[in-house]
């Protein structure tokens, strides 16, 4: 298994380590519920260095990115970021990602660690017709996500950059914790606000420790991937491999807002999605609140009242914030309206739920 530059810091803090995306990653330290509450109420810090960073530059950079991603890259300006996906040639999704515009003709693509190799092959394959400069710098960078209502107060101690001037889905590059050229980003995956800190590996442990020290009076806690999952699920954010896959369309997944069918330029499989939108999707990703005792898990069948299968669960958990079970799952369109009753088959028992609007946690 690969190890991030922060591996020893996790061991020293007593983290429980698990294999994830080819890396040994911390799943929890003090416990998922405690870490979840820290992010919702105060501030927590995650090591998400397993994420991939591809740098794309040159006069053909924008054209390449616009072709391989579903969103409209021409809307970006330097210092702005954009959520997007790589559509595949069969109507599904290669991966979801964030596109950062660093400067004119210079971009960074941040992709999921579990998809990094196939993403690199995918972008490289299509770059053959564009000729942009493409560099995989994943092994050079560490990434820390500092999340929660107190995140700004903690991080502001370590930089002269005015963090209040970085809006959602924006970023800046400046000095942080005595290190120059640090990417400070405001994208988030928890719904509780905060920033992401991209630093070179040689500076990672120093920055990690400085953030923990700066956050002592704000009740900062190191957090693992366990509560990262419960936090994102409470917001209804998609997780690649669960809620979106090679077989799911962005239109089915409620990601039509990042699938810009009206943009002037072509993108991979654009006509397929135009046709799919015109015809209408047959299934939709919905949010389900469980009304009886039982926790839904990935792969569990979803049924109607008569016991007919109408879909399946993609993500499920016991929500720490709401103290109730919640899930995302695909259902046939006829069962997707808010307040529709659905049943999760848990060990051959039908557990009642209902379709609700996202986010679960408000």
Read off the CATH number of the domain in which 123 is found. Answer: 3.30.70.1400
How many whole angstroms separate alpha carbon 283 and alpha carbon 295? Answer: 23
Grouping H, G, I as helix, E, B as strand and the rest as coil, residue 231 is helix
Whole-number Å distance between alpha carbons of 357 and 16: 34
**61 lies in a domain?**
yes
**Domain for residue 119, yes or no?**
yes
Looking at residue 316, its pLDDT comes to 98
Kindly state whether residue 18 falls inside one of the protein's structural domains.
no
Could you read off the pLDDT of 95-104 as tens digits, one per residue? 999 999 999 9
The string of pLDDT tens digits covering residues 237-249 is 999 999 999 999 9
pLDDT digits (tens, 9 = 90+) for 169-195: 999 999 999 999 999 999 999 999 999
Q: Say if 203 falls within a structural domain.
A: no
Q: Is residue 155 part of a domain?
A: no
Domain total of the chain: 2
Q: Which pLDDT does position 122 carry in this prediction?
A: 98
Per-residue pLDDT of 288-300, as tens digits, reads 999 999 999 999 9
* Residue that finishes a domain, picked among 111, 138, 165: 138
The CATH number that applies at residue 301 is 2.40.30.110
Of the candidates 120, 138, 156, which is a domain's last residue? 138
Give the residue among 217, 340, 212, 346 at the shortest CA–CA distance from 288. 340
Vertex 74: Cα angle to 81 and 66 (nearest 5): 90
- Domain of residue 339, residue span: 282-356
Virtual CA dihedral for 339, 190, 263, 254, nearest 10 degrees? -20
User: Residues 109-121: pLDDT tens digits?
Assistant: 999 999 999 999 9
Helices 61-68 + 116-127 axis angle, to 10? 120
Boundary (domain end) residue, out of 138, 166, 186: 138
pLDDT tens digits for 21-43?
A: 899 999 999 999 999 999 999 99
Reported pTM: 0.96
Residue 7 lies in a domain: no
């Amino acid at each position: 298994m690969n190890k991030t530059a922060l591996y020893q810091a996790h061991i020293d803090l007593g983290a429980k380590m698990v294999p994830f995306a080819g890396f040994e990653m911390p799943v929890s330290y003090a416990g998922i519920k405690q870490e979840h509450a820290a992010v919702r109420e105060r501030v927590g810090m995650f090591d998400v260095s397993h994420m991939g960073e591809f740098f794309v530059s040159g006069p053909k950079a924008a054209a390449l990115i616009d072709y391989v991603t579903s969103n409209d890259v021409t809307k970006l300006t330097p210092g702005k970021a954009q959520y997007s996906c790589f559509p595949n040639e069969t109507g599904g999704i290669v991966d979801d990602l964030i596109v950062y515009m660093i400067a004119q003709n210079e971009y960074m693509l941040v992709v999921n660690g579990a998809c990094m190799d196939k993403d690199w092959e995918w972008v490289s394959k299509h770059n053959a017709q564009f000729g942009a400069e493409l560099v995989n710098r994943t092994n050079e960078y560490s990434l820390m996500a500092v999340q929660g209502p107190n995140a700004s107060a903690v991080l502001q101690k370590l930089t002269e950059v005015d963090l209040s001037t970085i809006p959602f889905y924006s970023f800046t590059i400046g000095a942080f914790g005595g290190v120059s050229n640090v990417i400070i980003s405001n994208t988030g995956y928890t719904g509780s606000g905060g920033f992401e800190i991209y630093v070179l590996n040689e500076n990672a442990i120093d920055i990690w420790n400085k953030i923990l020290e700066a956050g002592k009076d704000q009740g900062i806690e190191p957090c693992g991937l366990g509560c990262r999952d419960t936090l994102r699920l409470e917001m209804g954010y998609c997780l690649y491999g669960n809620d979106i896959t090679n077989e799911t369309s962005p239109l089915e997944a409620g990601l039509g807002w990042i699938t810009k069918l009206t943009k002037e330029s072509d993108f991979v499989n654009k006509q397929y999605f135009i046709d799919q939108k015109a015809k209408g999707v047959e299934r939709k990703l919905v949010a389900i609140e469980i009304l009886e005792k039982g926790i839904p898990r990935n792969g569990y069948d979803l049924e109607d009242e008569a016991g007919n299968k109408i879909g399946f669960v993609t993500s499920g958990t016991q929500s720490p914030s709401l103290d109730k079970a919640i899930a995302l799952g695909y259902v046939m369109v006829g069962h997707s309206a808010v307040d529709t009753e659905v049943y999760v088959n848990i060990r051959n028992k039908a557990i009642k739920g209902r379709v609700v609007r996202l986010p679960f946690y408000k």
